[in-house]
Amino acid sequence: MVLMDEGSGLNILYVDTLDAMCIPRLELRLAGSPFHGVISGAQAYPLGQIDLPIMFGKRANFHSEVLTFEVVDFPGSYHAILVRPCYAKFMAIPNYTYLKLKMSGPNGIITISSAFSHAFTCDHEHFELTTTVVNSFELP
């Protein structure tokens, strides 16, 4: 699962996803500074940055670019979060009402879609995880 977020300026990759892709942590570059807004009420410190090739579409019509991700080591309900730098690089247009992402490909428009039931399930899982994380910060 990947979250397409319109408000942030950082592409985020969770370390569990990095490990599942069998990418050694030695591939990470030194990260800049901490960022806010991903963990409610707390600073997040990335483990590092990594450039990864990302592709949307299918064999007959696809668009591929290399994106820079901040790799983080905290729980998340997604594999990655793609944001404004991703949209800009792919020249993609998100439509949150219809859960679609459109971009141009060599053989026409590429449309990435999701179902409302899937989006609801993702939102519910994210809410449960966020509530657990926030409560764990407030308990001590």
d(Cα 29, Cα 50) in Å, to the nearest integer? Answer: 6
Fold of 2-138: Cathepsin D, subunit A; domain 1 (2.40.70)
The ranges assigned to domains in the chain are: 2-138
Could you tell me the pTM of the whole model? 0.74
CA–CA distance from 50 to each of 10, 78, 106 (Å)? Answer: 12, 18, 27
At 57-81, the pLDDT tens digits run 999 999 999 999 999 887 776 778 8
Specify the amino acid at residue 104.
Answer: S
At 6-25, the pLDDT tens digits run 556 788 888 999 999 999 99
pLDDT, position 84: 82
